[in-house]
Each structure stands twice: as structure tokens, then as C-alpha cells.
Structure 1
Amino acid sequence: MAAADKESLPRPGASPAPTAQEYALWMSPASIFSRQHLMQDVEGERATLPLAAYCFMTGFIDSICFSAIFVWCAFQTGNTVQLALALARLFQGPPGQRDTSFHLADKQALTSVLTFVFGAFLGRIGDRMGAKTRAWLFLGTFIQTLFTMSAAVTVWKSGQPSTADARSDPAWSNALTYVTIGFMSASMGLQGIMGKRVNTQFATTIVLTTVWCELMADPKLFQLRRVVSRDHKVIGIVALFIGGFAGRAILDKIGSAGALGVGTGIRLLISVWWLFVPGKQTQTMK
């Protein structure tokens, strides 16, 4: 096909009803992997499915981590408060009888916070490539995939159990499981900043307390017709709930390493998914 013909192809969504031939040409490998296609910004309002999948992965990953050590890889509010309590414990009781030890749960929370911040910092790569471009959304999600795969390998090599019965006796305690926590938290930090940069009703796709509050405050909460600001928040909350349920169910069947392997596959699918999200209608193919 001549270059001029390719340049004149409309995108799906650019016209009310693209023909089957036009759609097939737009979806061809030559078009999908062209620089122009990859560097085009996606339309955030039309990225509902991959963003909902992000929320699903939040519940999925957190269910695995919490089941083992009662620490969240994505919800850093709890981990931050836990570290504050660990510091306050140094001043509890009379001098000479204070607990100055750094408890295992506190070490795991600190590992999660630091690696989460590292993952979020990696998200700033997208500021140079274009935070909403298909290229960065694909690459960033693929990096999350590699982090999740690394977590699966390290927890498998650790040889430790997948679930804990009590907070005082976490299932993970050796060095390799610290690396597992780090990879899981880094993947969530990167996901969070990528979700935030897309700038939709899904927010960061990892912290849904704000989403719950905004949903309850939505003036159109009880309207029966379709309302994007409300419906997308509901989709995110439901997706996270289903992700947590699925994560625990899979964990009980095949263990944490196998569950993280499943999560790796899902993240790989999401990364490819970004290549097919429609671009902004205000942009035209050059």
C-alpha cells in the first residue's frame, strides 16, 4: 500500500461509521506498530476496559500479599501509619523497658513503601515519551508484567507458604520474600502513576477510598440514565472486588507463585490491549 493511502486512513471513532476495509487497514500490523500510531495519545474516556483491568490487578495483587503478611502492596496509607506506630513505640513505657526492636511486619511495610515509591518514580519516564501515548502505556504495563513475573519467581524460590493464620506469624519471612514484596509493590507504584496520568474517573486505579468518596458525592448518583462520572467509579470498585476474590481463590488452589504467574499473564494481555485503544478524536493522522 502506498504511503499516501496509509496516511489518509481514518481511525475507528474518527468517523461515525468506518467501513470494514478501513477498519481492517487501521488494525493491520503495519499500522499498529507504526511510530505515528504508537506515539498517539489514547482517549481516556475510551480506555475503560484496560483501566478496569488495572483495578482488577490491584485487588488481585493485594489479596496475595495480604494473605501472606497482612501488608498491602498498593494501599500505602496503612503501611505509612504502621511505620509511624513503629516509631511511636520507641517512646512507649519507662526508659530501659521500651521496645526498640524493628518488628518483621514493620520491615515488610517499609520495604513495600520504598519499592512502591521507586515504581512510581519509574512512571516519570512516561512524561518524556508522552504519558498517554500507546507506546508508553504498552511499555509501562509491560514493565509491570516483568515485575510481577519476578515476584512469582522469587516467592517460588523462597519455598515459603502462601497464607498466614495470624498477624503475629506472617507466612513470608526470608530474604527472597522481601524481594517478592518489593517487586509486587513496585509494579503497583508504576500502575498507580500511569493510571493517574491517563486522568479519568478511575483515578490512580489503586487507591479507591477517594473514588468511594467521589462516588457518594456525585450529584448524579441516583440518576437512572448512563452517567460516566458515576458508572466508571462503580466499574473500578467492582473490578477491584472481583480481583481480590479471584486472587484469593487462585491462591488457595495453586499457591502464591502460581497466582502471581496468572497475574503476569493478565498484565501481559493488558499491555497489548493498550495498542488497540482508540486515540483522541481531535488528533489526526499525519
Structure 2
Amino acid sequence: MKTHSPSQASKPTPTRDETLPTTELPSSNSSLSKPSRAQTILSHLKTEIALDHADIPIIACCFVSGLCDSSAYNAWTCFVSMQTGNTIFLALGASGQPITHPYGWAKSLLSISVFFCGCLFFSNTRRIIPKARGTLAASFFLQSVCIIVAAALVQRRVVPSPNGDVIESGGGVDFLELVPLGFLAFQSGGQMTTSRLLAFNEVPTTVLTSVYCDLASDPKVLARDNVKRNRRVGAVLCILIGGIAGGWISRSSAGLATSFWIAAAIKMVIAISWSIWKPKAAVQL
């Protein structure tokens, strides 16, 4: 009878699993598990903002409107934000009035046309996440650049600007004035479009006629808690204060360009603020 030695009987048969390596090999897709810095930034900019306190930058735009409109009108007898006034100036031009500004209608027509183009251009942001940080930041950055161009043209004396009080004159018009007017009107369309996209319709940022009407007809105008009333009052005060500031700056030695530099700085600060604004809260299902 054939027998087996103890050493042969106790030796276990190797299994298939024991033949595999015990060290885990690095996965070829491990680099994809963590987003890159560019992807993180892009995701941050695509995030929609929370609307809490988002009305503050919009109301600040009212100050910019008052500052730019008072400065532009004082220098060139034309508005860059309030297009109702420009429409009246355009209508007066049909009868050759006012006599002291024979080509005032041309400035008003340009301002209205470029403002319209600005609204058309910036309204297309609704196609690329209109309430996203990046969209709002880019919009206000471009608005700031437009004001910077206007300020630089005046600062470098490419466009003449009055020093001190404006004296009415029937002389010829310098059509170089149309260049900064165009840039200023274009950016004004951008800020008004943003107020609409963010649903702050009670703060149009460029006009006050409807705001006065809404304040007077509001049945809760004296209520303690009335957010829309507060926004409307803030808009009125900011345009008023901006207009006063623009007038005094124009009379001072600082000159017209200073008003535009201040307006550009405000728009740039708003652009930076949008880029880091609090994100919209996630919907709980």
C-alpha cells in the first residue's frame, strides 16, 4: 500500500487569489477624481448668486447715474442715462430749438441709440446664466471699462471739457463729444438691464418718474416693513446725491474726468463683489 509523507500531506494547494499581487496599482483615472484649479474657478463663476442684499449694488448704480448724468449734462447738455429727457431734446430739434444748442438733438439721438444698443447687448446675458457670478462680474467689468474710456478721453483732453460754470453759447459743436457720450450711454443700458434680470424692477437705476409714482400710490408707504419702498427711496436719494456730487466736482478744480473716474471705480468694485457674492441656497428635496 502506497503512503504519503507527512510533509506532502500537510502542504496546502495554492488558490487562485493567493497568486495575485497584494499591492494595489494606481488607477489611471485617479487624476480625474479631484477637479483642477481651472474647473474649480469655472464652477465658482457659474454659481448663481443669492438675491439677499443684491439690491445694494443696483441702488449704488443709481448714484453712478446721478453722477454721470449731472456731469454730462453740465458739460455737453445731454443725458447719458435719462433717455426721457433726451427724447424731449430730440423732439425740440425738429423746430431748431434750443437756439443756443443747434446740434443738441444729434447728441440726444446718439445717446438714445447707443443706450438702446447697450440694453440689447447686455440683455443677451440671459442666454448664459444671467444670475451667475461670472456673468454679472463680466457685465459690470465691461461697464466700468466703458466709463474708463470716457474718463481717459476727457483726462487726456482728446474731448474738451468745461472748467467751472458752463456758459451757454451758440457756437459750433465739437462732435468729439459724441464719443464719450456713446460709451457712457452704452454702460447705462447695462446696469438697467441687470436690474431687470435680477427682478428689482422697482429700481430702474436711470429714471425716477415711475419710482415717484410707485411711492405715492403705495398703500403701505408708511409701513415699518416695506422692502420695495426702501429700495425706491434709496434709488431717489442716490440719484440726487450723485447729481449733487457731479455738479460740485464739475465746478471744482478736479474737473469733469474725476466724476467719471469715481463712477468707473464704483462699477469695478461692484464687478468684484459679484464675483465673490454669496451663492444661491441649494433646493432641499
State the TM-score bracket (shorter-chain normalisation): 0.7 to 0.9
User: Are residue 205 (structure 1) and residue 212 (structure 2) matched?
Assistant: no
- Structure 1 counterpart of 2:116: 117
- Structure 1 counterpart of 2:233: 234
Give the unaligned 5+ runs of structure 2: 1-31
Q: Is the 8 A contact 1:44 1:199 kept in 2?
A: no
SS in 1 for 2:244: helix
Q: Is the 8 A contact 1:201 1:232 kept in 2?
A: no
Q: Is the 8 A contact 1:69 1:167 kept in 2?
A: no
SS in 1 for 2:204: coil
- Structure 2 counterpart of 1:75: 82
Q: Which moved more, 1:56-65 or 1:122-131?
A: 122-131
Matched length: 248
Q: CA deviation at 1:162?
A: 4.8
Amino acid at match of 1:111: L
- Structure 2 counterpart of 1:271: 271
- Structure 1 counterpart of 2:12: none
CA 1:159–1:79: 2 relative to 1, 3 Å: closer
- Structure 1 counterpart of 2:103: 104
Amino acid at match of 2:49: V
- Structure 1 counterpart of 2:150: 151
User: Are residue 38 (structure 1) and residue 26 (structure 2) matched?
Assistant: no
- Structure 1 counterpart of 2:246: 247
Give the unaligned 5+ runs of structure 1: 7-29, 93-98
Per-residue CA distance 1:201-259 (angstroms, 9 max, x = gap): 54321122111211111121112x22112111111111111211222222333111222
Q: Is the 8 A contact 1:68 1:163 kept in 2?
A: no
- Structure 1 counterpart of 2:9: none
Per-residue CA distance 1:166-215 (angstroms, 9 max, x = gap): 55559x93232110111111111111111211112543211221112111
- Structure 1 counterpart of 2:261: 261
Amino acid at match of 2:279: G
Amino acid at match of 1:77: T
Q: Is the 8 A contact 1:137 1:271 kept in 2?
A: yes
Amino acid at match of 2:74: S
- Structure 2 counterpart of 1:184: 184
Q: Give the Cα separation in 1 of the matches to 2:143 and 2:183.
A: 9
CA 1:135–1:115: 2 relative to 1, 3 Å: same
Per-residue CA distance 1:55-113 (angstroms, 9 max, x = gap): 111111111111112221111112122222323x28x9xxxxxx9xx922111111111
Q: Give the Cα separation in 2 of the matches to 1:65 and 1:152.
A: 11
SS in 1 for 2:255: helix
Query: Identity of counterpart residues, as a percentage?
Result: 27
In the TM superposition, structure 1's runs of 4+ consecutive aligned residues that sit over 3 Å from their partners are 3-6, 162-170
Q: Is the 8 A contact 1:51 1:202 kept in 2?
A: no
Q: Give the Cα separation in 2 of the matches to 1:161 and 1:52.
A: 29
Q: CA deviation at 1:271?
A: 0.9
SS in 1 for 2:138: helix
Structure having the higher Rg? 2
Q: RMSD over aligned Cα, in angstroms?
A: 3.0
CA 1:35–1:104: 2 relative to 1, 3 Å: same
Q: Is the 8 A contact 1:73 1:185 kept in 2?
A: yes
Q: Which moved more, 1:144-153 or 1:236-245?
A: 236-245
Amino acid at match of 2:189: G
Q: Give the Cα separation in 2 of the matches to 1:176 and 1:211.
A: 34
Q: Give the Cα separation in 2 of the matches to 1:179 and 1:110.
A: 13
Could you state the TM-score of these two structures normalised by the residue count of structure 1? Answer: 0.76
Amino acid at match of 1:165: V
Amino acid at match of 2:69: D
Decide which structure has greater helix share.
Answer: 1
Q: Which moved more, 1:50-59 or 1:124-133?
A: 124-133
Q: Is the 8 A contact 1:46 1:278 kept in 2?
A: no
